Every structure is written in C-alpha cells, then in structure tokens.
Amino acid sequence: MRLPHPLLETWSHEAEWIAALPDLIAACVDRWSLVVAEPFATPHSLVLPAGDVVLKLNAPAHEEAENEADALTAWAGEGAVRLLARDDQRRALLLERCRPGLELWKAGVDQVDIVGALIPRLQVEVDDEHPFTLLADEAERWSDEVPRRYAAAGEPFERRLLDFALDVYRSVDRRARLLVNQDLHGGNILAAEREPWLVIDPKPLVGERELEASGLLRNAENVTHWLDALVGLGFDRERARGWGVAHNLAWAWDERGGWLEHHVEEARRILSAR
C-alpha cells in the first residue's frame, strides 16, 4: 500500500509513526475483520475505505484530534458520522462511510442553509464529567504562546491584529459548556445516504458557541454573509468575529515553518469584515 504524499509531507517529522503505519493497519484489519482499499489522499490523518466503513488513524502529535471519538460518541450520529469502534492505544477509529462523500463546498448548493441546520444539533451542552478540553484553558495557553511567537518572529504582522486576539482570549467565558467544533467548514461536511449531509473530522472543545464560527469564517468567500447567518442562529456577531480572528491566529503557527502568512491573512480579512 502506498501512503498518500500529503500525509507523508504533513508528518515527515513523525518518522516513527510513519514507519509503524503498516503494522497499525494490519492490526486494525485483523481486529475489525476489514478489507481495506487504497487510502484517500488526506493530509492530516490516514483514512482507508473498507466497504461501508472507513478506518482512520491519527498521528500521536495530532493533538487537536485527541477527543474526536468522544465528540462522535456524544453526537451519536445526529448530524455527524457514526463512530462504530475505537482503539485508543493505536489512535484508530472505525467510522461510518459517507456515500457519495462529496464535500459540501464542492456541491454547488447553499452552504449556509445546510450548516445552519446542523449547528443546533451539534452544539450540545455537556455535564461536568465530560472528557473534552475547555476553550478557556486553550485561550489561556494561546494568550501566552501567540505573543511569544509574535515577538520571536520579529513582529511579523500588525500589532492591532495581535492585540485584538489577546482581548478575545482574555475575555473567554469560563462558564460556557457547549460542545463546539474548531474545524467546521464545507470540506468537513460530506454528502451521505443516512442523512443528506454529515459532519466528519471534528476538533472538539467545550466553551462558547461562537468558537464554531472560526472554521466557517476562515473558509468563507463572504465573511459578512456568514456572520449574518450565524446571528440568525443566536450567535453574538462581535464574539463570532472575535473568535474568527483569535482562533485563526492561534492556528496560524507551524512548529516547523513559523507564521503561515495565508492564515494570518484570513484573520486579517475576518477582522475587517462587518
């Protein structure tokens, strides 16, 4: 089996995991009696189709995927793919396969209406025993890391963008207890049979509902149009825009490449939108 080049490129610094993948695949195939086909050309996780299911393997360093299985368990197939089995030691998931699997942003339909119907089903309130990382804890980490990276890189973009993000981190609502997805966008919503559209690949946190705006605004052709739609779902407009900037700036850093200019530009574009 040939591993996808985008995956090898993304995890070139995780040589031990890459080398272990054939054995990990074989162990999962044996455990779940699978017949796998060639993997999809995905960059962040190894995803292999196996009939009506897919086998997904996450790299140990892929921290944002840590609670993916927990989020899918919480949703229980409501608007998202079903988790069929998990092997936490191998960081392996057995998932419902979406057929035909067309990405929403390639479907030529109104994404706003579809996402607007999904979000209220996915933003469930969790109890105190939940396994998820808190947005408040991440915001505290970002409020330290982002300015430190900014200074170390010689102030690579305008200070007002950084100051705006810091204000958002420091004003995080520590009482909020909604399950939210850091990476909801049209590339992670697929056409399916059980429901017309299902969410895949969640990056869950627990906190303010407006964090869910981040992936949508980052990938929006028209940021204002999406802000209008989110307000219609009960989002606070300025808080949604705020997390669009602050979260995307936190994700604009690559440990090997430093600041990613196109991600910084997305944060800048969201800040300028009204």
- Cα-Cα-Cα-Cα torsion 220, 221, 222, 228, nearest 10 degrees, comes to -30
Just list the catalytic residues.
183
Residue pair 215/119 in contact by the 8 Å Cβ criterion:
no
**What pLDDT is attached to residue 274?**
87
State the pTM of this model. 0.96
Residue pair 4/37 in contact by the 8 Å Cβ criterion:
no
**What pLDDT is attached to residue 138?**
98
Please state, rounded to an integer, the average pLDDT across all residues of the chain. Answer: 97
**What pLDDT is attached to residue 129?**
94
Please compute, for residue 159, the number of CA atoms within 13 A of its CA located in the half-sphere on the CB side. Answer: 2
Q: Which H helix or E strand runs over 96?
A: strand 92-96
Which among 272, 271, 64 has a CA at the least distance from the CA of 167? 271
Please compute, for residue 135, the number of CA atoms within 13 A of its CA located in the half-sphere on the CB side. Answer: 29
Task: Give the pLDDT band (50/70/90) at residue 1.
Answer: confident
pLDDT in tens, 112-160: 999 999 999 999 999 999 999 999 999 999 999 999 999 999 999 999 9
Task: Give the pLDDT band (50/70/90) at residue 32.
Answer: very high
Q: State how far the Cα of 271 lies from the Cα of 255, in Å rounded to an integer.
A: 25
pLDDT in tens, 192-226: 999 999 999 999 999 999 999 999 999 999 999 99
Helices (H), 76-222: 111-122, 135-152, 159-170, 213-218
Mean pLDDT across the stretch 228-239?
A: 97
DSSP state letters, 188-207: GEEE-SSSSEEE-S--EEEE
Residue pair 267/248 in contact by the 8 Å Cβ criterion:
yes
One-letter amino acid for residue 198 of the chain: L
- The CA distances from residue 92 to 56, 57, 69, 88, 247, in Å, are 6, 5, 9, 6, 27
The CA radius of gyration of the chain, in Å to the nearest whole number, is 19
Mean pLDDT across the stretch 19-39?
A: 98
- The CA distances from residue 257 to 47, 48, 252, 260, in Å, are 25, 28, 10, 7
pLDDT in tens, 65-83: 999 999 999 999 999 999 9
Task: Give the pLDDT band (50/70/90) at residue 248.
Answer: very high
Q: Which H helix or E strand runs over 272?
A: helix 261-272
